[in-house]
Amino acid sequence: MPSETILIVDDEQLIRWSLGRALQKEGYNVIEAEDTKRALSIIITAEPDLIVLDQRLPDGSGIELLQRLHDKGMTTPTIMLTAIDRSDVAVQAMKLGALDYITKPVNIEELKIVVDKCLEATRLRRQLHHFKKENEKRFGSYKLIGDSPAMQTVFEQISKIAQSSATTVLLTGESGTGKELAARAVHMLSDRQDMPFLAVNCSALIETLIESELFGHEKGAFTDARMLRKGMFELAQGGAVFLDEIGDTSPAVQARLLRVLEERIVRRVGGSADICVDVRIIAATNRSLEQRIAEEKFRTDLFYRLNVAHIHLPPVRERGDDVILLAEFFLNEFNIKFRKHFKGLSEKTKTLFRQYAWPGNVREIRNVVERAALLDDGEYIFSHDVHLGHLHQLHDQKVTTVEFGPDGLSLMELEKKALLAALSRTDGNQSQAAKLLKISRDALRYKMKKFGLPKQQHDGE
Ligand SMILES: Nc1ncnc2c1ncn2[C@@H]1O[C@H](COP(=O)(O)OP(=O)(O)OP(=O)(O)O)[C@@H](O)[C@H]1O
Ligand SMILES: [Mg+2]
């Protein structure tokens, strides 16, 4: 580790010399300043690791210097030297961020200990900051869950591409597979992470809007263009633009995008100047671009420009047991959100989750778990607490395809069928069945008795 630099600010040369020598002997680099003006310029240019600052200086006080640093948002660790009868100065200094203080005359041994302690604290803080950043990178808001080989491959591709010089990335995958999350991960793992990440949904905007959204417009370019507006590409300068649903863009937009990809130049709508843009373009689509090309809805040349670095997000049904991992991850999220205390999924629910095809992919898992966590209480999510898409439809069909016989249909009979369907759907759990039928549990019990249905007990799995 390079030795740390300490700045000593004191107007008395003898004090600077004796403190400086003592600290140099400890292996530190020492710089000296005799007044606040010189101290400030050293702090800015040499960026010392620690300042030992006297309160009384010829051109102002140490507190004033601390205040100025504080106002500039500079957080160089500082030890204040104060007169023994000026505890108010010590208090003020600590309030302005000083780490410690020493009373004059300075005891060299005390100084060494305090300096060592302050630098240690600074090192720890720096490490903590670094650790936090690293942690955020891996476990931050764009945490991608998955242990399956398919997802491990995706993670490797994401981190490789993020750190590569590829300025164009194409993400494909069915709806809800995590394309947007992957796009954010690519950005956050890249050198561009501190620069903007701007997302635009190409299918949600009408053509004229999308052009001015992406490329900006000059004042007066069209009726509503009362002011100059910068487009996404310009605003994301140095960062990334996420073009969601790129497969849905019109031929006109495709032509303009091609130019951006080829030349990294944009021109505002109604403008004549070419503006150079340095942005990573991350495009996503849940449609097959090859098929769009075959239908003559997508330009081949644009496809080749986009398809430089390609990441495909596999559907959930190809991710093995990730479905359980994802469900438990979301359950944890909703435990916090809804103040619930679920410990996990019951074995039967796990089996159900493994068998189900999840056409809505990760988004569907999240929705199903959210619903169960919201509506239920207890320790486990039981199979009768979850409502999976196709099961739901089957159940609905059973009720709605009741046929009218030649004599018509008894409403009581229909009610009985609905009751039976609800009970079978919930494995006989009465409160769940009541919820499905949108009646109270008492009303359900009454009806069961009325129709002579046997009482079923269901306490768990
Ligand atoms: N691997 C994953 N780990 C954790 N959460 C995920 C994962 N993949 C997706 N999600 C979550 O699932 C939801 C859907 O993901 P996202 O919006 O990224 O999908 P998408 O592929 O862009 O979908 P669409 O094509 O419908 O726009 C989001 O809430 C996202 O946070
Ligand atoms: Mg999306």
Query: Residue 212: pLDDT above 90?
Result: no
Segment among 80-89, 181-190, 263-272 with least mean pLDDT: 80-89
Of the residues 74, 102, 132, which one is the last residue of a structural domain? 132
Query: Residue 168: pLDDT above 80?
Result: yes
Q: Residue 158 — φ and ψ, nearest 5°?
A: -60, -50
* pLDDT, mean of residues 408-435: 81
Query: What 8-state DSSP symbol labels residue 246?
Result: G
Query: Residue 376: pLDDT above 90?
Result: no
Please indicate, yes or no, if residue 223 is contained in any of the structural domains: yes
| Same domain flag for 282 and 231 | yes
Please indicate, yes or no, if residue 139 is contained in any of the structural domains: no
pLDDT band at 393 (very low <50, low <70, confident <90, very high): very low
Segment among 41-55, 84-98, 330-344 with least mean pLDDT: 84-98
Cα 385 to Cα 458: distance, rounded to the nearest angstrom = 13
Query: Residue 402: pLDDT above 70?
Result: no
Return the pLDDT at 397. Answer: 38
pLDDT in tens, 112-156: 999 998 998 888 777 777 766 665 555 455 678 999 999 999 999
Question: Which helix (DSSP H) or strand (DSSP E) does residue 8 occupy?
Answer: strand 5-9
| Same domain flag for 177 and 210 | yes
Query: Residue 458: pLDDT above 50?
Result: no
* Best probe residue, ligand 1, of 153, 170, 363 (max atoms within 8 Å of C-beta): 363
DSSP of 366-417 = HHHHHHHHHH--SSEE-GGG---HHHHHHHHHHHHTPPPBTTB--HHHHHHH
Higher pLDDT, 125 or 379: 379
Return the pLDDT at 456. Answer: 54
pTM strictly above 0.85: no
Q: What percent of the chain has pLDDT over 90?
A: 53
* pLDDT, mean of residues 255-272: 91
Please indicate, yes or no, if residue 144 is contained in any of the structural domains: no
Please indicate, yes or no, if residue 140 is contained in any of the structural domains: no
Segment among 108-112, 273-277, 301-305, 418-422 with least mean pLDDT: 418-422
| Same domain flag for 279 and 309 | yes
Please check whether residue 364 is in contact with residue 328, taking contact to mean a CB–CB distance below 8 angstroms.
no
Of the residues 387, 409, 441, which one is the last residue of a structural domain? 387
Query: How far away, in angstroms, is 360 Cα from ligand 1 center?
Result: 10
| Same domain flag for 431 and 322 | no
Higher pLDDT, 332 or 204: 332
Residues paired with residue 244 on neighbouring β-strands, in sequence order:
201
| Same domain flag for 232 and 125 | no
* pLDDT, mean of residues 197-225: 83
CA distances from 1 to 27, 118, 125, 198 (A): 12, 17, 16, 39
Nearest CA to ligand 1 atom 8: 178
| Same domain flag for 22 and 56 | yes
Return the pLDDT at 392. Answer: 40
Of the residues 351, 366, 387, which one is the last residue of a structural domain? 387
Written as one letter, the residue type at 345 is L
CATH number for position 333: 1.10.8.60
* pLDDT, mean of residues 253-257: 90
Please check whether residue 255 is in contact with residue 266, taking contact to mean a CB–CB distance below 8 angstroms.
no
Q: What percent of the chain has pLDDT over 70?
A: 91
Return the pLDDT at 223. Answer: 78
| Same domain flag for 196 and 295 | yes
Give all strands (DSSP E) within 126-225, no chain letters.
168-172, 197-201, 216-217
Nearest CA to ligand 1 atom 29: 363
pLDDT band at 254 (very low <50, low <70, confident <90, very high): very high
Residues paired with residue 101 on neighbouring β-strands, in sequence order:
80
Please indicate, yes or no, if residue 169 is contained in any of the structural domains: yes
Query: Which residues are near ligand 1 (CB < 6 Å)?
Result: 144-146, 173, 175-181, 286, 326, 362-363, 366
Neighbours of ion ligand 2 (CB under 5 A): 180
| Cα 455 from chain centroid (whole Å) | 49
pLDDT in tens, 271-290: 989 999 999 999 999 999 99
Domain span at residue 426 reads: 388-461
pLDDT in tens, 318-367: 999 999 999 999 999 999 888 899 999 999 999 999 999 999 999 999 99
* Best probe residue, ligand 1, of 147, 177, 362, 370 (max atoms within 8 Å of C-beta): 362
CATH number for position 98: 3.40.50.2300
Return the pLDDT at 134. Answer: 62
| End-to-end CA gap in the chain | 59
| Same domain flag for 182 and 286 | yes
* Best probe residue, ligand 1, of 169, 177, 244, 331 (max atoms within 8 Å of C-beta): 177
| Same domain flag for 118 and 184 | no
* pLDDT, mean of residues 279-307: 95
Cα 361 to Cα 367: distance, rounded to the nearest angstrom = 10
Domain count, the chain: 4
Query: Residue 401: pLDDT above 70?
Result: no
- Over the chain, what is the mean pLDDT? 86
> Count of CB atoms within 10 A of residue 31's CB?
18
Return the pLDDT at 361. Answer: 95
Please indicate, yes or no, if residue 299 is contained in any of the structural domains: yes
Return the pLDDT at 184. Answer: 93
Return the pLDDT at 403. Answer: 60
| Same domain flag for 154 and 76 | no
Query: Residue 404: pLDDT above 70?
Result: no
| Same domain flag for 308 and 360 | no
Highest mean pLDDT range out of 62-76, 205-219, 377-391, 401-415? 62-76
* pLDDT, mean of residues 435-454: 83
| Same domain flag for 323 and 446 | no
Please indicate, yes or no, if residue 436 is contained in any of the structural domains: yes
Query: How far away, in angstroms, is 170 Cα from ligand 2 center?
Result: 13
* pLDDT, mean of residues 72-96: 86
Please indicate, yes or no, if residue 160 is contained in any of the structural domains: yes
Query: How far away, in angstroms, is 42 Cα from ligand 2 center?
Result: 50
